[in-house]
Amino acid sequence: MVQVVLVVAIANLCLGYGLAIYLHDLRRPRERARTIDTSPRAEDSPEQPAGPPGSAAAPVAAAAARQVDEIPHEWLETLEGVAQSNSFAAAGLRVFKLDVARYRAELEEIDYDIRQCAESPAPEKLRRCVARLSLVNEPWLLCQREAATNLQTLHDKAPPFGGLAKRLDYALMLQAAQIETTAGNLRRLGPSPDPRACCGPLVNEVAKLIELCHLLRDRIQESLVAVLRHEDRLSALSPGALTDSLTRLYNRFALQQTLDEWQRHSGAKKHPASLGIVDLDNLRKINEAHGPLVGDRLIGAVAQVIQELTRRSRSVDRAFRFSGGSMALLVPDADPQQATAALERVRQAVEGFTFELAHQQIPARVSCAVIELAASETVDALLVRLLATLRAAKTAGRNRTFFDAGQGAVQASTAPLAIPSRTFRLDIDLAPVIQGVAPLRVHPVPTA
């Protein structure tokens, strides 16, 4: 009897020690900066061999996706420097340090394994997927709840931090609620889930969790931008901290920095300027149908289309990844009607191009919006108006462009453009992943 008690005690001690290490690892700040790829672009270099979906590349690519989604260490270091003087930064610091990228990468690997079980039913493998999903979710839920404890005290704080605290806290609450719902659904599967009946619902559960990771990531970035802007620290960030690793575009920090700079000098400008946004339609459905890694590659492909078309037209000054599948474009010396031509070229190109995964076409479409930058509006008000114009395009049926010249959102009327056809392969590219580089490339393939 004594031996049994001793064995149980040692097992509990080991389990507690392992859980403590895992929790600590989830909370710790990132210890390395994101690697920015400076290698030649895919269209300028020979094609690398690509692994098909369902190959061993997918789990490796999920690890690379963690690099893509990580918050650069430099951002957190800068934030820690202002936490003593900024109560929102101090209260939110533990949330900002949550390793959302690692949690998302683990969910992506589970998603990949479940999809494999759907193709080749393997009850034991599916049981391990269910167990691993619980093992990943439980400590993450403890971490994010512990990190969020101080946010609710800031809900009534003066703008902009009161609203930011509410939005950030709401994202955490939604995620926590979904994790609890998923836990209940997993318990109902029983000890031996049937792959034929359970894989579809399990993929949907993981897709919801990944989508809420994206929401939390975007809310964290929004909050970091607001804090560093309020403390006048955006200009101190290095060029590497202003680049989005997935798309190679400028990031949300660079957009805020650019708009602030424009507003400071808007009085001296004699010509109008416009701001546009390109947003992937039905990205959530694509992620659910093909997995989030394919969604990432599609975002990268659309960003590549934007870079190529705007580089040729020279009408767009800069392109930025705004959030998720949204990219913003700054169009100088152009009113909204003139800037619409650049956005329409992108929209029609995406509609006409072929995005292919293992010889299966992915139906990619984008909605676009354009507004004129008004010197009388704050940057926050400009972004609100831009997103309202985008919502009008989505509500009208998606895959269209709306503009707002100051009298509300209006649909653009543009004739079809002559754009050469192209094919983009979204297959997993194993070569850059093995080299430890963050890019998730797509290969444009000329169409005969």
Beta bridge partners of 354: 423
Check whether 172 has a pLDDT greater than 90: yes
What pLDDT does residue 159 have? 66
Check whether 230 has a pLDDT greater than 80: yes
What pLDDT does residue 118 have? 87
What pLDDT does residue 191 have? 80
- Could you tell me the sign of the dihedral formed by the alpha carbons of 138, 144, 147, 152, in that order? negative
> 319: closest CA among 300, 294, 338, 295?
300
Give me the helices (H) in 34-155, please: 57-69, 73-82, 87-96, 100-119, 123-147
Average pLDDT over all residues of the chain:
79
Average pLDDT over residues 114-123: 88
Average pLDDT over residues 77-95: 82
What pLDDT does residue 26 have? 42
| pLDDT single digits (tens) 2-40 | 555 455 455 555 545 454 444 444 444 333 333 223 233
- In the chain, % helix, strand, coil (3-state, to 5) comes to 60, 10, 25
Share of the chain above pLDDT 70, in %: 77
More confident residue, 266 or 421: 421
Average pLDDT over residues 193-200: 86
Check whether 142 has a pLDDT greater than 50: yes
What pLDDT does residue 111 have? 94
What pLDDT does residue 36 have? 26
Average pLDDT over residues 271-297: 91
CB 429 within 8 A of CB 396: no
Element (H, E) at 257: helix 252-264
More confident residue, 333 or 47: 333
pTM summary value: 0.77
Average pLDDT over residues 38-66: 39
Average pLDDT over residues 312-322: 83
Residue 78, token pair as written in the block = 């800068």
More confident residue, 71 or 439: 71
CB 252 within 8 A of CB 226: no
What pLDDT does residue 16 have? 52
Beta bridge partners of 424: 355, 444
Longest distance between any two alpha carbons in the chain, whole Å = 88
- Residue 282 pLDDT level (bands cut at 50, 70, 90): very high
Average pLDDT over residues 160-168: 84
CB 343 within 8 A of CB 278: yes
| pLDDT single digits (tens) 331-377 | 988 888 888 988 999 999 999 999 988 888 898 999 999 999 988 88
| DSSP-assigned letters across all residues of 296-345 | HHHHHHHHHHHHHHHHHH---SEEEEEETTEEEEEEET--HHHHHHHHHH
Average pLDDT over residues 285-314: 88
Give 268's contacts (C-beta < 8 A, 6+ positions apart).
none
CB 347 within 8 A of CB 327: no
By three-state DSSP, how is residue 428 classified?
strand
| pLDDT single digits (tens) 408-445 | 899 998 888 888 888 888 875 433 332 332 332 333 33
